[in-house]
Structure formats: structure tokens, C-alpha cells
Chain A
């Protein structure tokens, strides 16, 4: 089966950098996704990693280590609008299932 773990809540200061971790176990790995979800809205796609290493996209970067079953999302120059839930999801190559972790609620303070 698949199991995904993320911290439940995090707090950071405007302008700072925050790292949100995700560890996973899966039967067959076919990529890891990160999403942002504001309260009352649908999740929006942030990044996709299938190979080891760092993918940078503006203020957001995502890292993957397949051997460790580990990923993180790095948010730089935090803004108040970054207060949201961040969801990690893993796609299984064996089953085709895309399973989500519980999500990390990030609060950005002035």
C-alpha cells in the first residue's frame, strides 16, 4: 500500500524561508506531487518530481530522494498569501493510484 506523512501545522514569518517535509512508502513509485490549497478552494498544482534532485520554480522549490522516500517543498521570501495547506501526493506505478498525505497547514505571520 501507500503511506504518506507530513507535519500537521507549521508557522513562519513573512519574508523567511520554510521547508515542508514529506516522507512516503509506496509499492512502485511514479512521481511525487505538491499542491497548495487555500481554505474553501480546490488544490492547485505546484510541482512534480520523479527523479532525484531539486526542481526550482520561482519562490517554490521541491526536492526528492527516492532512496530515502523523502521530499520537501521549500518556500522562499514568504508572503502572507502563502498561508495555506500544502499537500504531498504520491503516484504508484503498480496501481495508478494518486494518494495524498494529510496536508500541512502553514501560517505566515507578519
Chain B
């Protein structure tokens, strides 16, 4: 099915563990974004990518790593999870040529114990 999917939808992990959140889109959109959403902070940009093999830091990149070897995938890795990374993570994609289509994935709720 066409769309943008995230996996897992829910994840509980422990401090210090590595966690990877997956994001997959089927539209071949050029841009992809990772956001975290916490009460009192709204949506904050972690990393974004303008195309395959092009990534850049957002507002809150520390503790996160991304890659984009294929246009359709944009995984986000927490190298050593901390409690402050407990949050809801949203992936989004945006068409490159016409910016008026932008879609969010369903989100991943991550809890770090």
C-alpha cells in the first residue's frame, strides 16, 4: 500500500541500549524528516534528508544517527539510549518538486527505562 510507515509502533528499551526506528515511504519523495514530540515542546526536528545519501542535522540531533542509502528508507538510530529520549517519534516525507504534499507516519512511541 502507498504511504509512509514506521516500525515499531511501540518500543520499550533500557538506558544504554542501541535502538533503531524505521521509516519507509512509497511515494519516492525527495525529502524525509525525523521529529520528536514531547509535551511542552511541540515537534522538534532531529535530522532531515534532501535526497538519498544527503542528510543534515536539525534542531536536536545529539544522540541520534541517520542514514539514507535508498530514497524510500530513512532509519533513525539512538546509539546509546537515555531516559531523556523517551518521546513520540514521527517520520515525515515531502515531495521535492512541489512542496504542497507532506505526510507524516503514524509515529513510534519510545520509552527508555
Contacts and interface: CB of A to CB of B under 8 A. Distances in A.
Given A43-B90, A50-B99, A91-B99, A99 B45 contact: yes
Nearest to B42: A102
A98 B101 contact: no
Nearest to A102: B42
A67 interface: no
B74 to A, nearest CB: 14
Contacts of B56: 95-97
Interface residues of A, number: 22
Nearest to B90: A42
B42 A87 contact: yes
B99 A42 contact: no
A102 B14 CA distance: 29
B104 A87 contact: no
A33 B43 CA distance: 13
Contact of A45 (B31, B45, B58, B103): B103
B100 A48 contact: yes
Interface string B66-95: 000000000000000000000000101010
B82 to A, nearest CB: 23
A-B pairs with lowest CB-CB distance, top 4: A48-B100, A100-B43, A102-B42, A42-B104
Given A95-B56, A97-B48, A101-B42, A45 B102 contact: yes
Contact of B35 (A95, A100, A103): A100
A96 B47 CA distance: 11
A30 interface: yes
A3 to B, nearest CB: 11
A53 B65 CA distance: 39
Contact of A44 (B45, B94, B101, B104): B104
A102 B58 CA distance: 16
Contacts of A87: 42-43
Interface string B53-69: 00010110000000000
Contact of B48 (A31, A42, A96, A101): A96
